[in-house]
Amino acid sequence: MISFELLFPVSIVAGFIGAMAGMGGGVVIIPVLTLLGVDIKHAIAISILSVIATSSGSASAYIRDHITNLKVGMFLEMFTIAGALTGAKITLAVSPKPLYIIFGLVLLASWLALLFARHQMGNTGPQDRLTRWLELEGSYPDQVLGKVVHYKAVRSYFGAPLMYLAGIIAGLLGIGAGAVKVLIHDLVMGLPPKVSTTTSNMIIGVTALAGASVYLVAGLVEPGLAAPVILGIAIGAFLGTRLLVRMSNQAVRRFFLFILLILAVEMIVRGVRGGL
Amino acid sequence: MTDDPKTGAWQNADARALGETQRQFDMDAVVGYILLIGVLIALVLVAGALIWRWMNTRTLWFDYKVTGMNLFELIVEEIHLAAKGAFRPRLLMSLGIAMLMLTPFIRVLASMVYFMAALRNWKYSVFTAIVLLTLTYSLFLR
């Protein structure tokens, strides 16, 4: 029943919806694959591979624009990678049922985070000693404001363990968990929204790699599924991002967020019912 | 007034910040292009594998399995198969997956060189080394 001819267009749509809603394609493709009859662990493994493609693709442009903070990224990657290894190992060990429920709940939480996203400026006040020692500060040329924005990160002692948890979620569910990471960067570490989004994008790539390695050895990466999904999501995300740049319409974004809400509820219901 | 000390201080700070940005320019560009080129090569390999498969068999589905192999064993296996004359579309497909997974790895490797050689920042050289070691460990998992 599952064929390239079915999966390829479905993956393009998944990548497109993910990009339009401001999330990765993983949150869309995993529920869709499971609806098509793919085992959730195989779906997670394929999704995390496609996450490497989409996050690296978009991170590329942001890094070249000097918005991404390489030091913040490198420091936090130590924690997210360890988390991803833990998360993927947990997925291999547990039964599918809790995975559906956790997936739905994380999607729901990310959904709320996106809907109520606050756009405050980054912290410019004094830093704590650890964060200052870690040299976690920076500046970037903001094209909208027309000036160089300076910022100083704070509370890295709290951000780091939280990023380990974000890594667990990413590895466990095969998603980028970008919304969770951005939330930690914004609210806990006081990074400006642009820096937190783009730096999170860079972190997602290596985090997904750690998770993908675990799934590859476990034999969950099926090349038959991987080919259409990776290509499709990359194309869909590319188109979605291009369109998103030209649109500032909140109504359109809310429509795509609504689709994510349905997917979240649907996953929870399937997990609770256990019929899968 | 141009000689307003306050304005001057602001301009100096901005100029310093821009200077830092300029110095980072090369590395940001290198890291950015590593990610872009790596992903593009991976996607082209997967697309090439599919086209090749279609020309050979008129199907777009790969039915081989990758079991009990880490990334390096997968690459070795495929090259081994190819060397024995079994030159098949799955070679490109597996190399596409491998390229995709190696892209963030190469990015971290480049950052390591940057922090060590260009910035001589030992703190971040150590952090990058930890990231690199953990990733290497994960790639060699059994």
Interchain CB distance below 8 Å, A57 and B63:
no
Contact A140, A195 (CB under 8 A): yes
Window 64-103 of B: residues touching A by CB (8 A cutoff) are 64-71, 74, 90, 93-94, 96-97, 100-101, 103
Interchain CB distance below 8 Å, B134 and A81:
yes
A140: left (phi over 0), alpha (psi -120 to 50) or beta: beta
Query: Shortest CA distance to B59 belongs to which of B49, B74, B72, B69?
Result: B49
From chain B, pick out residues whose CB is under 8 angstroms from the CB of A139. Answer: 17, 20-21
Chain B residue with the nearest C-alpha to that of A202? B104
Interchain CB distance below 8 Å, B62 and A223:
yes
From chain B, pick out residues whose CB is under 8 angstroms from the CB of A226. Answer: 46, 62, 93, 97
pLDDT tier for residue B8 given thresholds of 50, 70 and 90: very low
Residues B15-54 have pLDDT tens digits of 445 445 555 446 788 888 999 999 999 999 999 999 999 9
Q: A179: which 2 tokens?
A: 């919304």
Query: If DSSP states are collapsed to H, E and C, what string results for chain A?
Result: CCCHHHHHHHHHHHHHHHHHHCCCCHHHHHHHHHHCCCCHHHHHHHHHHHHHHHHHHHHHHHHHCCCCCHHHHHHHHHHHHHHHHHHHHHHHHCCHHHHHHHHHHHHHHHHHHHHCCCCCCCCCCCCCHHHHHCCCEEEEEECCCCEEEEEECCCHHHHHHHHHHHHHHHHHHCCCCHHHHHHHHHHHCCCCHHHHHHHHHHHHHHHHHHHHHHHHHCCCCCHHHHHHHHHHHHHHHHHHHHHHHHCCCHHHHHHHHHHHHHHHHHHHHHHHHCCC
Minimal Cβ distance to A60: which of B32, B49, B121? B32
Q: B52: which 2 tokens?
A: 């090749």
Evaluate the CA torsion angle A16, A17, A23, A27 in order and state its sign: negative
Minimal Cβ distance to A141: which of B21, B64, B100? B21
Burial class (CB in 10 A: 0-12, 13-18, 19+), A135: middle
Contact A210, B138 (CB under 8 A): yes
CA-based nearest distance A249→chain B, Å = 29
Q: What is the residue-averaged pLDDT of chain A? A: 89
CB neighbourhood size of A91 (10 A):
25
Residues A12-69 have pLDDT tens digits of 999 988 887 777 778 889 999 999 999 999 999 999 999 999 988 888 888 888 889 9
Q: CB of B141 within 8 Å of any CB in chain A? A: yes
Contact A231, A11 (CB under 8 A): yes
Query: If DSSP states are collapsed to H, E and C, what string results for chain B?
Result: CCCCHHHHHHHHHHHHHHHHHHHHHHHHHHHHHHHHHHHHHHHHHHHHHHHHHHHHHCCCCCCCCCCCCCHHHHHHHHHHHHHCCCCCHHHHHHHHHHHHHHHHHHHHHHHHHHHHHHCCCHHHHHHHHHHHHHHHHHHCCC
- The angle subtended at Cα A38 by Cα A102 and Cα A24, nearest 5°, is 55
Rounded to an integer, what distance in angstroms lies between the CA atom of residue A61 and that of residue A27?
23
Give the max Cα distance, chain B.
78
Query: Is the predicted pLDDT of residue A119 greater than 50, yes or no?
Result: yes
Contact A255, A85 (CB under 8 A): no
Chain B residue with the nearest C-alpha to that of A84? B138
Q: What is the residue-averaged pLDDT of chain B? A: 84
Q: What is the mean pLDDT of residues B77-84?
A: 91
Q: B135: which 2 tokens?
A: 């990733």
From chain B, pick out residues whose CB is under 8 angstroms from the CB of A60. Answer: 32-33, 35-36, 39
Minimal Cβ distance to B42: which of A53, A60, A228? A53
- Which of the residues B26, B39, B88 would you substitute to probe the A interface, choosing the one with the greatest number of A C-beta atoms within 10 Å? B39
Residues A5-25 have pLDDT tens digits of 999 999 999 998 888 777 777
From chain A, pick out residues whose CB is under 8 angstroms from the CB of B105. Answer: 206, 209
Of A242 and A200, the one with more pLDDT: A200
What residue segments make up the domains of chain A, in order of their start?
4-273
pLDDT tier for residue A117 given thresholds of 50, 70 and 90: low
Minimal Cβ distance to A219: which of B60, B65, B108? B65
Count of pairs with CB atoms under 8 A, one residue in A, one in B: 181
Minimal Cβ distance to A213: which of B93, B131, B138? B138
pLDDT tier for residue B94 given thresholds of 50, 70 and 90: very high
Minimal Cβ distance to A223: which of B47, B66, B123? B66
Residues A205-260 have pLDDT tens digits of 999 999 999 999 999 999 999 999 999 999 998 888 887 766 656 667 777 778 88
Q: B78: which 2 tokens?
A: 């495929």
Rounded to an integer, what distance in angstroms lies between the CA atom of residue A123 and that of residue A129?
15
Question: In residues, how long is chain A?
Answer: 276
